[in-house]
Structure 1
Amino acid sequence: MIASLRGTVTHVGLHSAVIDVNGMGMLVQATPQTLSSLHVGREALVQTAMIVREDSMTLYGFTDADQREVFETLLSVSGVGPRIALAVLAVHTPEAIRVAASTGDDKAFSKVSGIGPKGARRIVLELADKLVPLGTADSPAAARWQDQVLAAMTGLGWSEKDANAAIDAAVAEAPDVAAGGNVGEILKLTLRRLGTDGARARAPRQQVS
């Protein structure tokens, strides 16, 4: 499995690029957004996913690991191959795809060339439990755990502003923990971000008169 490539860009086309890695030219299929970040003659680091078929091995390139993760998750949907998955990422950002999947917005996927209404509905149904927006409180479940963690933090003496900032940082650092909605785990991670082991809270700030 080739997870990434680092080398000199020797060619950039409409749908692919060639990256020279120690004298070997590696052909990478990518979205227009990823290709626009590559420049001939410059070094580039591209995250990749390799799709092996009976008669071929194809590399797909991405600007970051998040795009690759969403690409691979899209491939788990029946009827969605690499071409369609790449087309979805060409139209929507990874976070927009997560939001569309979690909210049942099949119209977002219908905007992608090659995906009809039935295919869009199937994508939403199969991705609903696999893709969750990162660090958002759009769903009732997310709102509940955020409220509980915030209440616990302020009860321990942290200001609401500091607590919210720490929660956002913790969610960005470990989105899988946030997706699980485990209040205890999220609280523990948030406290760690604030520089405490959770055994004691910071004393409330003294007010200056």
Structure 2
Amino acid sequence: MIASVRGPVRSIGLDRVVVEVGGVGMLLHTTPATAASLHHGQEALLSTTLVVREDSLTLYGFGSDDERDIFEVVQTVSGVGPRLALAMLSVLAPDRVRAAISGSDIAALTTVPGIGKKGAERMVLELRDKIGVLPGGVAASATTATAGRGGAWREQVGEALVGLGWSAKQAEDAVARVAEGADGAGAEPNVSDLLRAALRELGPR
């Protein structure tokens, strides 16, 4: 298993990056917040997991080992594959996933595109005893992304919402509502936090 990659970032997309390792460009699928936290040419260190299928080898990259662990454990639930596991981490931080599952918070789990009430209930039933206790202090990692000055975060969050399945109009409206508080807060906004806030505005699909 490829547990991590380190190297300069050669390309950044909405939910993927290319990291050069030993002269080879490695394509990693990531959450929008992880992708937004990276910059072209900078050296990145990402925890990874390799998903092997009959017709493909797909590498997923994460800003922390904790994210990778959650990604792997939620896939032990029937009907949850890599794409849905990645969508979950795009919406909920690892400690929030643990809290939702251990506390049977169906409403929080159904904010993830692709997870309905029955799927959330199954996830709680199958993972409650596996998910583990909340970590004492989850360090901010590459997934904690600042959006830059001048409101550039709006475009990043909007693109992430569209990538997760909402329409451009729904994404625009959610970003506008979140912007009312973010632009007046003073500090540089955080893409990951703002994406989750926008998803809360949109509610369950």
User: What's the TM-score bracket when you normalise by the shorter of the two chains?
Assistant: 0.5 to 0.7
The alignment status of 1:30 with 2:30, answered yes or no, reads: yes
Alpha-carbon displacement from aligned partner over 1:118-137 (angstroms, at most 9, x marks no partner): 111111111110113325xx
Q: Tell me how far apart the structure 1 counterparts of residues 58 and 37 of structure 2 sit (CA, whole Å).
A: 20
The alignment status of 1:67 with 2:60, answered yes or no, reads: no
- How far off its partner does 1:33 sit? 1.3
Q: Tell me how far apart the structure 2 counterparts of residues 104 and 117 of structure 1 sit (CA, whole Å).
A: 11
Q: Tell me how far apart the structure 1 counterparts of residues 38 and 29 of structure 2 sit (CA, whole Å).
A: 12
Q: Tell me how far apart the structure 2 counterparts of residues 133 and 86 of structure 1 sit (CA, whole Å).
A: 21
Q: Tell me how far apart the structure 1 counterparts of residues 58 and 47 of structure 2 sit (CA, whole Å).
A: 13
Structure of higher RCO (CA pairs closer than 8 Å, 6+ residues apart): 2
When Rg is computed on C-alpha atoms for both structures, the one with the higher figure is 1
Aligned to 2:44: 44
Aligned to 2:132: 132
Q: Tell me how far apart the structure 2 counterparts of residues 92 and 133 of structure 1 sit (CA, whole Å).
A: 16
Q: Which amino acid aligns with 1:49?
A: T
Aligned to 1:5: 5
Q: Tell me how far apart the structure 2 counterparts of residues 133 and 95 of structure 1 sit (CA, whole Å).
A: 9
Moved over 6 A (4+): none
Output the TM-score relative to the length of structure 1. Answer: 0.64
Q: Secondary structure at the match of 1:123?
A: helix
Aligned 8 A contact 1:99 1:132 in 2: no
Q: Which amino acid aligns with 2:65?
A: A
Aligned 8 A contact 2:14 2:36 in 1: no
Aligned to 2:181: none
Q: Tell me how far apart the structure 2 counterparts of residues 132 and 42 of structure 1 sit (CA, whole Å).
A: 34
Aligned 8 A contact 2:10 2:20 in 1: yes
- Mean CA deviation greater in 125-134 or 23-32: 125-134
Aligned 8 A contact 1:10 1:19 in 2: yes
- How far off its partner does 1:44 sit? 0.5
Q: Which amino acid aligns with 1:115?
A: I
Q: Tell me how far apart the structure 1 counterparts of residues 42 and 22 of structure 2 sit (CA, whole Å).
A: 14
Q: Secondary structure at the match of 1:131?
A: coil
Counterparts in 2 of 1:147-162, with a 5 A limit?
none
Q: Tell me how far apart the structure 2 counterparts of residues 12 and 101 of structure 1 sit (CA, whole Å).
A: 32
Q: Tell me how far apart the structure 2 counterparts of residues 106 and 125 of structure 1 sit (CA, whole Å).
A: 11
How many matched pairs? 138
Q: Tell me how far apart the structure 2 counterparts of residues 87 and 23 of structure 1 sit (CA, whole Å).
A: 30
Aligned 8 A contact 2:15 2:29 in 1: yes
- How far off its partner does 1:106 sit? 1.5
Aligned to 2:102: 102
Q: Which amino acid aligns with 1:64?
A: S
Alpha-carbon displacement from aligned partner over 1:55-108 (angstroms, at most 9, x marks no partner): 000000000100000110011111000000000000001000001111111111
Q: Tell me how far apart the structure 2 counterparts of residues 123 and 94 of structure 1 sit (CA, whole Å).
A: 15
Q: Which runs of 5+ in 2 are unaligned?
A: 139-205
Aligned to 1:87: 87
Compute the RMSD of aligned alpha carbons.
1.4
Q: Tell me how far apart the structure 2 counterparts of residues 134 and 103 of structure 1 sit (CA, whole Å).
A: 11
Report the identity percentage.
53
Output the TM-score relative to the length of structure 2. Answer: 0.65
Aligned to 1:16: 16
